[in-house]
Amino acid sequence: MNLTDLRLLLVGPLPPPAGGMANQTRQLAELLRAEGAQVEVVQVNAPYRPAWAGRIKGARALFRLLPYLAHLWRGCGRADVVHVMANSGWSWHLFAAPAVWIAALRGTPVVVNYRGGEADAFLQRTARWVRPTLRRAGALVLPSAFLLEVFARYGMHGRIVANIIDLERFHPAAAPQAPSADPHLVVARNLERIYGNDIALKAFARILKRFPGARLSVAGSGPEAAALAELARSLGIAGQVCFTGRLDREQMAVLYRDAHLMLNASRVDNMPNALLEALASGLPVVSTRAGGIPFMVKDRHTAMLVPVDDNVAMAAATIEVLEDQVLRAKLVSAGLAEVRRYQWTTVRDTLLVTYTETIGAAPAHRAT
């Protein structure tokens, strides 16, 4: 099969708000269409219609779910294969699982593309419900060896298809940032507890003792915005921390190219695109070892890895990179080499094989 022959129904979120899975859904649709594929997107976070329905807490889920299911049913009848972007929690039960079952009812082969750092906790609670759904899928696609191992522990086997990084958008500056006595650091995660932004702020307070002119940009939005701003004030660092709010792709690319180093303090994670984007932009990365991160970067080779919830270790690793230019250059070079594995031309071929095999096996699958 060629991509120009493919009719794909892609199920997942789209920006706004921007986020890892929403950005991957949008990017995949754009890239496949550029290759000539016919891509129809069923948006799981579509705007409420009518708009006032979104203000009725008890009913708004229904106003979104019913049009979603109707779109799924119609779309499955037009597609060669359905690609479902899946996550944990209610997102799985309300959107991913129904998509798989509707595709099975319509006789349309389906690929489940699961992502999310909380998979183990989710499967501990719900594996008995997830397994019957995945048996209806032709393939389980996972972005990392970390998730491959997690699902295998529960008797569900998948294959790796890596996340896609746009290396035309995320690339080093023409004149990369030189070492500076006043370094610019960046955090690029949603403002939620699982991403440990409080630890990043505490680490930055320590970094300022060695680099008093340093500044930190925190790019993201979320429920902890006010608490984090208050923490910055209580630490006495508010004047050197900029909470940018959520930035679009182009703005993030510019921010990475203006920075000297990225901090990632996540407590739970899978394969964060933000780390890959930073590496592609020529930034050294200091990150926790949360979840799947050690599966994607190697300590002191492609990134500096520190324990979760350890702001002292994060600050020390950051200061080491900022002061040791040989180490910094090694991290940047290795990071740029590593991230080439995530470019579209590499991922495309693996994805096409997955689609072809799933479509080819569909008659046997429907007979089970």
* pLDDT in the model for residue 368: 34
Low-confidence ranges of the chain (pLDDT < 50): 364-368
Residue with tokens 């900029």: 242
Q: Do 66 and 122 have their domain in common?
A: yes
Token pair listed for 339: 């991230």
Residue 286 β-bridge partners: 263, 304
Indicate the DSSP class of residue 303. B
- Is residue 192 located within the same domain as residue 308? yes
User: What are the residues whose beta carbons fall under 8 Å from the beta carbon of 131, sequence distance 6 or more?
Assistant: 154, 155, 156
pLDDT score recorded for residue 58: 63
Determine the Cα–Cα distance for residues 110 and 83; give it in Å rounded to an integer. 6
Structural domain count, the chain: 2
pTM of the model: 0.88
80 shares its domain with 134:
yes
In a domain, 173, yes or no: no
350 in a structural domain? yes
One domain, residues 337 and 347 = no
The per-residue pLDDT for range 201-258, each reduced to its tens digit, is: 999 999 999 999 999 999 999 999 999 999 999 999 999 999 999 999 999 999 999 9
Residue 365 Rama label (left phi>0; alpha psi -120 to 50; beta): alpha
Residues 266 and 142 in one domain: no
Q: Taking a C-beta distance cutoff of 8 angstroms, is the pair 341, 230 a contact?
A: no
| Alpha-helical regions (H) of the chain | 20-34, 60-76, 90-91, 97-106, 119-134, 145-153, 197-210, 225-234, 249-258, 273-280, 293-296, 311-323, 325-338, 344-360, 362-366
> What CATH number did the domain enclosing 190 receive?
3.40.50.2000
CA–CA gap between residue 75 and residue 94 (Å, rounded): 17
Residues 109 and 87 occupy one common structural domain: yes
Q: Let me know whether 263 and 324 are in one domain.
A: yes
Q: What is the pLDDT of residues 162-213, one digit of tens each?
A: 999 999 999 999 887 777 889 999 999 999 999 999 999 999 999 999 999 9
| 169 belongs to a structural domain | no
Contact between residue 167 and residue 343 where contact means Cβ atoms under 8 Å apart: yes
Instruction: Tell me the one-letter amino acid at 104.
Output: A
Positive or negative, the Cα torsion across 236, 242, 244, 249?
negative
> Per the domain annotation, does 170 fall within a domain?
no
What integer pLDDT is reported at residue 14 of this predicted model?
Answer: 93
User: Is residue 245 domain-resident?
Assistant: yes
Could you list the residue range(s) of the whole structural domain that residue 323 is in?
184-341
- Residues 32, 77: one domain? yes
3-state secondary structure of 154: coil
Q: For the chain, what's the residue count? A: 368
DSSP-assigned letters across all residues of 173-234 = -SSPPPP-SS-EEEE-S-SSGGGTHHHHHHHHHHHHHH-TT-EEEEE--STTHHHHHHHHHH
Is residue 331 located within the same domain as residue 357? no
Q: Identify whether residues 256 and 353 lie together within a single domain.
A: no
139: Cβ contacts below 8 Å, ≥ 6 apart? 111, 112, 158, 159, 354, 357, 358
Q: Which residues contact 257 (CB under 8 A, 6 or more apart)?
A: 171, 172, 173, 177, 281, 282
Residue 179, domain member (yes or no): no
**Residue 192 in domain:** yes
Q: Based on the domain organization, do 265 and 150 belong to the same domain?
A: no
Please give the order of strands across the beta sheet that includes 304-306.
241-245, 215-219, 184-187, 261-264, 285-288, 304-306
Task: Give the per-residue pLDDT at 54.
Answer: 67
Task: Tell me, yes or no, whether 143 and 133 share the same domain.
Answer: yes
Assigned domain for 326 exists: yes
Contact 346, 161 (CB under 8 A): no
